Amino acid sequence: MNVVETTPGRALWIARGLLGGLAVGAVAVLAGCGQSVSGTPVAGSAVAVQHVEGALADLLPAPDRFPARYPAVVLPPQAAAAAVGDLDGVGAGATVRPATCTPPDPEPGAEPAAVAVGNDDATRTSLTVELSRTTETLGELRARLVGCEQIRVSRAGAESVVSTTVGATVPAGADDAVSLRRTVVPEVGGAGLTQTMQTSVGQLGDVRITVTSMTFGDTAPDAAAVDELFATTVRSVRGE
């Protein structure tokens, strides 16, 4: 698959621009109904993870369930893959130091992530929800973050420093959840290029929910919108 190189942090905005001519209603994916967690455990981690039935695209909340100030679209697979890289500050093909902090590759044969993004153009704030399949527990994610509070990332000839802080507040509604605050500071660049992200990550069976508000410059992420969309997504995955 050919992926167009973008400046780190811009994929969400470029993807939105590519889809700007589409009516939101035409790309809306209706939230699944009557979804359930099956009784068959999925191997691959120390703790058995239950499989949630239904395609991720059907479990994803429809764009009209985003907060009203964030007109949203569902991204096609290639744009979704690029957007996912923006959410951890690393992205595909990046070199990370220390190397042990490199995010894991998608699990072999895993269903592609489903992503929807909304933008408040007035404040340059994006609001993104990603659903992915994983047998990794949130406890394992927390363990991976230890010692990775600050990393250096090289991608497409650009260097940046990514700092991650685990929040004290735990988002409600999922089987397990964690909140993260991230900043991505480019080594070379002008004012307004620093990215700041507020993220809630939750787990429902083998479905991982990641909701992120991302801003540039001095604008603070929209934590209230993250809370609202996280709760909406939990209900959607549960089939409510």
pLDDT tens digits for range 145-182: 999 999 999 988 889 999 999 998 889 999 999 999 99
| CB distance 65 to 228 below 8 Å | no
The tokens of 22 are what?
């589409």
pLDDT for the residue numbered 224: 96
pLDDT for the residue numbered 212: 97
pLDDT for the residue numbered 141: 92
33-90: pLDDT as tens digits: 333 334 333 433 344 578 999 999 999 999 999 999 999 999 998 899 888 878 888 8
Closest CA to 213 of 151, 129, 113: 129
Torsions phi, psi of 219, nearest 5?
-70, 130
In sequence order, the β-bridge partners of residue 159 are 154
In sequence order, the β-bridge partners of residue 161 are 152, 185
Range 11-237 has CATH code 1.25.40? no
The tokens of 107 are what?
């699990």
68-80: pLDDT as tens digits: 999 999 999 889 9
- Using DSSP's 3-state secondary structure scheme, residue 133 falls into strand
pLDDT at 24 over 50: no
Classify the C-alpha dihedral 33-37-40-41 as positive or negative.
positive
pLDDT band at 18 (very low <50, low <70, confident <90, very high): very low
The pTM assigned to this predicted structure is: 0.81
